[in-house]
Structure 1
Amino acid sequence: MTPDRRSPAAGPRPERRTPAPALPGLAELLTPAAELYLYLHRHPELSGAERRTAGRFADWLTVDGYRVLRDVGGHGVAAELRNGDGPAVLLRAELDALPVAEDTGVPYASTLTAPGPDGDTVPVMHACGHDAHLACVAAAARWLAARRDLWRGTLLVVGQPAEETLSGARAMLEDGLYGRITPPDDVLAQHTAPFPAGMVAHADGPVLAGSVTLKVVVEGDGGHAATPHLTADPLLAAAGVVTRLASVAAREADPAERLVVTASSLRTQNAGHTGNVIAARAELHITARAFTEAALDRAVAAVRRVVHAEASAAALPPRATVTTIMRSGVTLPDPELAAAVRDAHRAHFGAGRVTGWPGSTATEDFPLLTGAGAGLHGHPHIRGTYWMLGSTGPAQWSAAPGANAAEKLRTLPANHSPRYLPSVRLTLQSGTSALVTAALARLGKGADQCRPER
């Protein structure tokens, strides 16, 4: 998941409240949480290969008294802790990393490589903050398990595999996730982003866009570069598609839809790696992102039309096929649940550290875990909310180019960058607090009733 470069937005001015004291015992939790984070950061695993990460997370939850299920939908982890009557609240984090070569320069940087999807060896890095998400959820789960007098209900914790490929949530649900644990009433999640650590951001509407990823395959018979007139050229048609894609968003969509259509990769196969051979096959990946399903459907139809038009325009037309390989829904928080969590965050952090979020064209499979995935799990009334978590520390903020906050936000390394690096202490502290206060807002006495231990 990659947040776009739009800045967190100032929302309506909230009622001013005195921030609640720090959660009791949180300071003691930060050391083991940081140790977990550093281990995960040094040992990232790609989507679908998160065995070591899942085992470490499951072991942590087992120590804290949770009933833990392993290998759900792949390497997924699901845990449950019952504490009397009350709602069931699920905290979700992701397990997987990305095929990115880390360039942060920190002593705990990842140097690992792993087999990629095509069998080649690729570098691996937690370039999207999933290691921080997992450490925050682990710490929040431990804090809540140790303070059952503060809440009532059922606490559920999920470590989801394969979020980056938008396949993990579906796999867990199809493996019977909500039949093997108590079905949640509410699902909560957060995501790091490059704005000041210690802050959280909430959207008034969609947090993240829905997306469709398409694979376009253009096939000819191959041929000699000296006689292109005798060959159906897949590369020429694929290149034409790439240049035409910009017109889909620019000329076929209302600008208010914020439609994004991007060609993300183009590869030739069957001897298309030398100057004197025309490839027999070109493969192109295209992603479309929008905030309504209707806009996505129109974008897919437009891409299909462009692909077939470019192929048919040649004197010797290559064969073209378009296949949908991934689709995710819009991450749209339940308004009532989102308001309750935002109020809890304002009460705990103070109004100045809770800001607005303009909605990002990044995407997630998180909606499947809520009522949006009812067709998969049979529970249409599960509510969800999702907020953004600042991850940029003071030193990185000061070093970022720019004369003001807006300019700095545009230059900070973003998620999926080889230089993306959350501030460990501040991100874990605020991320754990955000999850605990959000859970308490639903499970019982509420975060604003927590007081320091005496």
Structure 2
Amino acid sequence: MTSSAARTALDLTADLPVAGLEDCYRDLHRHPELSLREHRTAGKLAEQLRKAGYETAEGVGGTGVVGVLRNGDGPTVLLRADMDALPVAEETGLPYASEVPGVMHACGHDLHVAWLAGAAGALAAGRDAWSGTLLMVGQPAEETGQGAQAMVTDGLYERFPRPDVLLGQHAAPGPAGLYAHSPGLILSASTDVDIVVHGQGGHGSRPESTVDPVVTAAYLVTRLQTVVSREVAPRDSAVLTVGRIEAGTRHNVIPSEARIALNLRTQSMAVRDRMIAAIRRIAAGECLAAGCPREPEVIVGADFPATVNDAGTDRRVAAVHGEVFGTGAVFDPGPAMGSEDFPHLAPDGVPYAYWFVTSTPADVWEAAPGADLMEKFTAVPSNHSPRFAPDTSTLVPGVRTLVSGALAHLAVA
């Protein structure tokens, strides 16, 4: 038997303005904006919310947007979309490709904004079928981990209703038409670490008079690969990535310092702390062995929390998604190593659910090499790829996931 939430969601999304959703998405894709610079994107979302009848505020936490629709007694449900793009040069060849050099929506946040605008419109138009309060949040700067906290610090829950539940979703690679739920840990914590190696610079013709930080950094990069393989238990998932190494100015100049930028992905604070301790020890040891004049600097930087769904909330949303799309469309992939700042939006003790909407076009998926789903999954363009291009056929389903998730918590007639 189909629940009233599922039936109502299907009714409210039966006549979505598909052409308008596509125009909105393509416009956003053409005009990507980097973190905390999402002025045009925020304006477009705010315009859609006002048109649908929401009390709308802009500039929350910098460039954040909040829309409120009060519709009688009932829970307050927050729906969130992140808005920022990435410093990636687009290689999709799409007719609506980015017009901003070196910047693209390589993570699907343009799709997220279009989904949120569509859901806001559908729920407002069908307000006779439910009661409660909707809080629509267009969040800036997810990619840098700044936006959610900035909105909270700017008084998100003092200026607007405090939610009883938070819901969020993300475009992901995979054959379009699947909805990934995990009732618990779904995304890992992320930690940036910078290492500064101090050497003694000099002329390239006289290396014996220097302490070369480039050579020391090279040893460090190699040695750091043993942190996960030799210091983290096989039962604990962890990733250490060297994302950047910088040193020097000229071919024949041995520099005075080298900088290494690391990113850690962990699923527990204990593993994170163990990895940071290992990084400090290895950096100090390599610099001592090289005769560096100073100890290295190890700086722990930006942090993303682990995203841990409230099990009951996630199961509730997954159940209604199964009713709307078919039980075979909903699956549990287990936790991923990606990270999100969405949990920063959740006040203490308030439950949330976060899920994925697969979005790889059918022709791209079919052409990908591999005999099974996981082999193909690793072969298709992923988030942050210059070739990441979600299928526009996911526009309507992505609206339905948000609408049905909200209705699973609102009072439905």
- The answer to whether the superposition gives a TM-score over 0.5 is yes
SS of residue matched to 1:348:
helix
Among candidates 402, 408, 411, match of residue 441 of structure 1: 408
Q: Is the 1:328–1:365 contact (alpha carbons within 8 Å) kept by the matching residues of 2?
A: yes
In structure 2, the residue matched to 1:420 is 388
CA distance in 2: counterparts of 1:26 and 1:136, whole angstroms = 15
Partner letter of residue 105 of structure 1? G
TM-score (norm 1): 0.87
Partner letter of residue 436 of structure 1? V
Q: Confirm whether residue 263 of structure 1 aligns to residue 231 of structure 2.
A: no
Partner letter of residue 53 of structure 1? T
- The more displaced of 35-44 and 201-210 is 201-210
CA RMSD of aligned residues (A): 1.9
Among candidates 89, 110, 115, match of residue 101 of structure 1: 89
Q: Is the 2:201–2:256 contact (alpha carbons within 8 Å) kept by the matching residues of 1?
A: yes
Report the CA distance shift for 1:68/1:386 in structure 2 as closer, same or farther (over 3 A).
same
Matches within 5 A, 1:269-418: 272-370=248-346, 379-418=347-386
Report the CA distance shift for 1:25/1:200 in structure 2 as closer, same or farther (over 3 A).
closer
Report the CA distance shift for 1:135/1:247 in structure 2 as closer, same or farther (over 3 A).
same
In structure 2, the residue matched to 1:66 is 54
Q: Is the 2:29–2:110 contact (alpha carbons within 8 Å) kept by the matching residues of 1?
A: yes
CA distance in 1: counterparts of 2:15 and 2:191, whole angstroms = 42
CA distance in 2: counterparts of 1:74 and 1:182, whole angstroms = 19
- The more displaced of 256-265 and 23-32 is 23-32
1:259, CA displacement in angstroms? 0.9
Cα distance per residue 1:179-212 (max 9 Å; x no partner)? 1111111110011111121221111431110111
Q: Is the 2:200–2:293 contact (alpha carbons within 8 Å) kept by the matching residues of 1?
A: no
CA distance in 2: counterparts of 1:51 and 1:141, whole angstroms = 20
Q: Is the 2:183–2:315 contact (alpha carbons within 8 Å) kept by the matching residues of 1?
A: no
1:319, CA displacement in angstroms? 4.2
CA distance in 2: counterparts of 1:427 and 1:303, whole angstroms = 42
SS of residue matched to 1:45:
coil
SS of residue matched to 2:308:
coil
Report the CA distance shift for 1:239/1:90 in structure 2 as closer, same or farther (over 3 A).
same
1:218, CA displacement in angstroms? 2.1
Report the CA distance shift for 1:215/1:254 in structure 2 as closer, same or farther (over 3 A).
same
TM-score (norm 2): 0.95
1:89, CA displacement in angstroms? 0.7
Among candidates 124, 133, 148, match of residue 127 of structure 2: 148
Q: Is the 1:245–1:262 contact (alpha carbons within 8 Å) kept by the matching residues of 2?
A: no
1:288, CA displacement in angstroms? 0.8
Report the CA distance shift for 1:27/1:396 in structure 2 as closer, same or farther (over 3 A).
farther
Partner letter of residue 368 of structure 1? H
SS of residue matched to 1:163:
coil
SS of residue matched to 2:35:
coil
Report the CA distance shift for 1:154/1:22 in structure 2 as closer, same or farther (over 3 A).
closer
Q: Is the 2:200–2:292 contact (alpha carbons within 8 Å) kept by the matching residues of 1?
A: no
- The more displaced of 332-341 and 216-225 is 216-225
Q: Is the 2:237–2:267 contact (alpha carbons within 8 Å) kept by the matching residues of 1?
A: yes
- The more displaced of 413-422 and 23-32 is 23-32
In structure 2, the residue matched to 1:184 is 163
SS of residue matched to 1:297:
helix
1:328, CA displacement in angstroms? 1.3
CA distance in 2: counterparts of 1:25 and 1:275, whole angstroms = 62
In structure 2, the residue matched to 1:37 is 25
In structure 2, the residue matched to 1:195 is 174
Q: Is the 1:102–1:111 contact (alpha carbons within 8 Å) kept by the matching residues of 2?
A: no
In structure 2, the residue matched to 1:375 is none
Identity of aligned residues (%): 45
CA distance in 2: counterparts of 1:294 and 1:306, whole angstroms = 18
In structure 2, the residue matched to 1:138 is 117
Q: Confirm whether residue 127 of structure 1 aligns to residue 103 of structure 2.
A: no
CA distance in 2: counterparts of 1:71 and 1:221, whole angstroms = 47
CA distance in 2: counterparts of 1:45 and 1:338, whole angstroms = 31
1:320, CA displacement in angstroms? 1.6
Cα distance per residue 1:85-124 (max 9 Å; x no partner)? 11111011111011111111111111312xxxxxxxxx00
Among candidates 52, 66, 71, match of residue 83 of structure 1: 71
- The more displaced of 306-315 and 356-365 is 306-315
- The more displaced of 34-43 and 196-205 is 196-205
SS of residue matched to 2:205:
coil
Q: Is the 1:16–1:351 contact (alpha carbons within 8 Å) kept by the matching residues of 2?
A: no
Among candidates 427, 430, 439, match of residue 397 of structure 2: 430
CA distance in 1: counterparts of 2:288 and 2:309, whole angstroms = 43
SS of residue matched to 1:407:
helix
- The more displaced of 222-231 and 258-267 is 222-231
1:393, CA displacement in angstroms? 2.1
CA distance in 2: counterparts of 1:324 and 1:56, whole angstroms = 36
1:40, CA displacement in angstroms? 0.7
1:16, CA displacement in angstroms? 10
- The more displaced of 278-287 and 315-324 is 315-324
1:23, CA displacement in angstroms? 3.6
- The more displaced of 251-260 and 395-404 is 395-404
Q: Confirm whether residue 254 of structure 1 aligns to residue 233 of structure 2.
A: yes
CA distance in 2: counterparts of 1:62 and 1:341, whole angstroms = 27
1:82, CA displacement in angstroms? 0.7
Aligned residues: 411
SS of residue matched to 1:93:
strand
Q: Is the 2:184–2:310 contact (alpha carbons within 8 Å) kept by the matching residues of 1?
A: no
Q: Is the 2:183–2:310 contact (alpha carbons within 8 Å) kept by the matching residues of 1?
A: no
